[in-house]
Amino acid sequence: MVLTVENLVKRYPGSDRPVLRGLSLSVGAGETVALTGESGSGKSTALHLIAGLDHLDGGEITLGGTPLSGLSDAARADLRRNRVALIFQQFNLIPSLTVDQNLSFHARLAGRDDPQWRAEIAGRLGLADLGARYPEALSGGQAQRVAIGRALALRPPLLLADEPTGNLDETTAGAVLDLMLDLVRDTGAALLLVTHSDKVAARLDRHLHLSGGVVA
């Protein structure tokens, strides 16, 4: 398994009820899994914990055989840099970098930038002629395609996506999802995608629903 989550618990200060109270799931190599749930159900919280961006209060997350609970912040950052890529709803592109520089950013940090693969990604995502542009000059669909390309340029074993088409209109969202799933399958990455849309979830291999802090 690329990812195993066992009995995950997360509480926030000032709240008596944990947002996650025993979440368990797994994602195998090359598998695409959708995680749905009502607003506030803990979907994004789970994704942030899996990415090592926050500390869990109970349970265990194992990435590629490595448990996260015993790792230092630096070790978790290193694991995230090398084994996990994230796609956010808000794109999170670096405004001072061009499209080409954004595409290469994560892979360069990991020492795995491959210009040929990056050029192929840019072409398949319709970004080949936009390499010199800055994020402020992009449409929402273009910016999200850059965010997807940046994540997949790393060829990560695990891709985490948080509502990756949530800010796009339906037509653009469908086209962007098609491109992302094609590239994910070509790289062999495992994908855990958080979405509120059952229509999007139906496109993936498995669909898990989060309710009351656990998979229902």
pLDDT in tens, 132-170: 999 999 999 999 999 999 999 999 999 999 999 888 888
Domain boundaries, the chain: 3-215
Rounded distance between C-alpha atoms, residue 192 and residue 36, angstroms: 11
- What are phi and psi for residue 191, nearest 5 degrees? -125, 125
Q: pLDDT by residue (tens digit) across 32-83?
A: 999 999 988 999 999 999 998 888 999 999 999 999 988 898 998 898 889 9
pTM of the model: 0.94
Q: Assign 12 a pLDDT band (cuts: 50, 70, 90).
A: confident
Q: Look at residue 13 in the predicted model and tell me its pLDDT.
A: 85
- Tokens representing 98? 């061009």
In CATH terms, is domain 3-215 a member of 3.40.50.300? yes
- Torsion, Cα 21 27 33 38, to 10 degrees, reads 10
Give the residue from 127, 129, 172, 173 showing the smallest Cα distance to 150.
127
